[in-house]
Amino acid sequence: MGRIPKRAFALAVSAILCLGCGKTEDSLPAAADASVYESPEELYDKALSEDVLIVYTVSTRAVDAKDSFEKAYPGLTVEIRDLRSPNLIDAVEEDHEKGLANCDVVICNDNSGDFKSRLVDTGIVLPYMPQDIGAHMKEGMAGEMITFLSEAELLLYNSARYDSCPIDNIWALTEQKYRGTIYMPNPLRSFSTYAFCGACMQHAEELAAAYEKYCGSPLEIPEGMNAAEVFWSRASENIVFTNSSDEVVEALGSGAADFGIGVSSKLRLKDLGYDMEAVYRLEPFCGCRTSVAVMLAADSPNVNSARLFVRWLLGEADGKGEGYKPFCTAGTWSAREDVADGNPVPLSEIDLIEPDQEKLISDREHMEAFWSGILRQNNQEK
């Protein structure tokens, strides 16, 4: 018998949010119902009468999760639609505004504040966290937004050219000798890079102190600016801006770059022969923590399949499910207490800053104006 599509989903998401996430049932999204528990077997039985599961994702590793999911649950089909974060948010928002049930599960960077303000706060996407998995999640990973993987926007260096990182202070990136050899995604195109640049603004005093340590004299800050803006204004003269971290990695691999700033999960490409290493210790910091969220689309027509797939991505109750394994690679850190990090160096031993997402949202107009000016100047100099 063929599977019959269901289109009668009216926000009845039986989301099981983890215990101890600091929310009461009264404060949960209207669609959440913490009184319902459905086992994988029950979800699978219901999912067999649903249509193809559509996943909007920013990670190509979701394809590996799809393959193992379809083997584990014969009769279910997953379609992966790979999109860049800004395009993904636009697509989910547009689908919702038009009343189109085109998406079931969303995997997206939640770094710049766009995902939260446009999809989470508006209820266009909803959290789903079964209690048997939520009990194993690290603090802060499960709440109004489900973070299933931690990453970082990190400084990388060319390991074919350098045996170890040649700098110990971030202000060295402003030196004339590195002009044209630092590659970084355009922060207005990359959410992870935007988060790092925004977090720098929130840690301007640390940058000023690092400058004095590096140069031996206080930083002269023009009126109306802060130390972070001075740093990026100077560093941008040396930076080649790209569209993505993939292009940063290619520049490191080809020898065009001395340094790159990009998402840490690209470190897995070292296994393919790319010559790069991460910088873990740097004055005053070498990057910022970022993360990837997995959520249900509120308009999902295939809610049982969607819940089952989210369970699969999170590694199932025991953390050993095949769906989580493609994501536990070099440059990533597990969101679960019972699953080892993919990266050999723990987050606690890395000089990272944490972006304030609410501040990123409130500062957006200023950030866009600042970086538009930086990028315009960069293009003119070329």
The pLDDT of residue 20 is above 70: no
Which structure tokens are listed for 110?
A: 């939640």
CB 179 within 8 A of CB 238: yes
- For 36-65, the pLDDT digits (tens) are 678 999 999 999 999 999 999 999 999 999
User: For residues 105 and 58, what is the distance between their CA atoms, to the nearest angstrom?
Assistant: 12
DSSP 137: B
Cα within 13 Å of Cα(190), Cβ side: 22
Do 216 and 126 fall within a single domain? no
For residue 3, tell me if it sits in a domain.
no
User: For residues 247 and 360, what is the distance between their CA atoms, to the nearest angstrom?
Assistant: 25
Do 241 and 315 fall within a single domain? no
Rounded mean pLDDT of 30-34? 39
Q: Give the β-pairing of 333-334 and 277-278.
A: unpaired
The pLDDT of residue 2 is above 60: no
Phi then psi for 137, rounded to 5 degrees? -80, 145
Do 256 and 375 fall within a single domain? yes
Do 377 and 256 fall within a single domain? yes
Q: Which domain holds residue 75?
A: 25-150+290-345
For residue 161, tell me if it sits in a domain.
yes
Which structure tokens are listed for 363?
A: 């500062």
Q: pLDDT band for 382, please (50, 70, 90 cuts).
A: low
Q: What is the model's pLDDT at position 36?
A: 66
Do 358 and 214 fall within a single domain? yes
CA neighbor of 336 nearest in space, from 356, 317, 355, 310: 317
Rounded mean pLDDT of 281-309? 96
Do 91 and 156 fall within a single domain? no
Q: pLDDT band for 349, please (50, 70, 90 cuts).
A: very high
Percent of the chain past pLDDT 70, that is, above it, reads: 90
Q: Position 217: which residue type?
A: S
Domain total of the chain:
2
Which structure tokens are listed for 25?
A: 């049932």
The pLDDT of residue 3 is above 80: no
- For 170-201, the pLDDT digits (tens) are 999 999 999 999 999 999 999 999 999 999 99
Do 53 and 157 fall within a single domain? no
For residue 131, tell me if it sits in a domain.
yes
Whether residue 284 is preceded by a cis peptide bond, meaning omega within 30 degrees of 0, is yes
Q: What is the model's pLDDT at position 15?
A: 36
Q: What is the model's pLDDT at position 378?
A: 85
Do 190 and 310 fall within a single domain? no
For residue 303, tell me if it sits in a domain.
yes
Phi then psi for 147, rounded to 5 degrees? -95, 120
For residue 10, tell me if it sits in a domain.
no
Q: What is the model's pLDDT at position 37?
A: 78
Do 173 and 70 fall within a single domain? no
For residue 12, tell me if it sits in a domain.
no
Do 233 and 335 fall within a single domain? no
Do 356 and 334 fall within a single domain? no
Which structure tokens are listed for 156?
A: 């990388």
CB 54 within 8 A of CB 83: no
User: For residues 301 and 99, what is the distance between their CA atoms, to the nearest angstrom?
Assistant: 12
User: For residues 160 and 162, what is the distance between their CA atoms, to the nearest angstrom?
Assistant: 6
User: For residues 60 and 250, what is the distance between their CA atoms, to the nearest angstrom?
Assistant: 17
- For 232-245, the pLDDT digits (tens) are 999 999 999 999 99
- For 249-274, the pLDDT digits (tens) are 999 999 999 999 999 999 999 999 99
The CATH number for 110's domain is 3.40.190.10
Do 84 and 160 fall within a single domain? no
pLDDT mean across residues, the chain = 90
- For 113-161, the pLDDT digits (tens) are 899 999 999 999 999 999 899 999 999 999 999 999 999 999 999 999 9
Phi then psi for 359, rounded to 5 degrees? -70, -35
Q: What is the model's pLDDT at position 119?
A: 96
For residue 320, tell me if it sits in a domain.
yes
Residues of the chain by 3-state class (helix, strand, coil), percent to 5: 40, 15, 45
For residue 2, tell me if it sits in a domain.
no
CB 187 within 8 A of CB 86: no
Helix 227-235 / helix 364-381 crossing angle, nearest 10 deg: 30
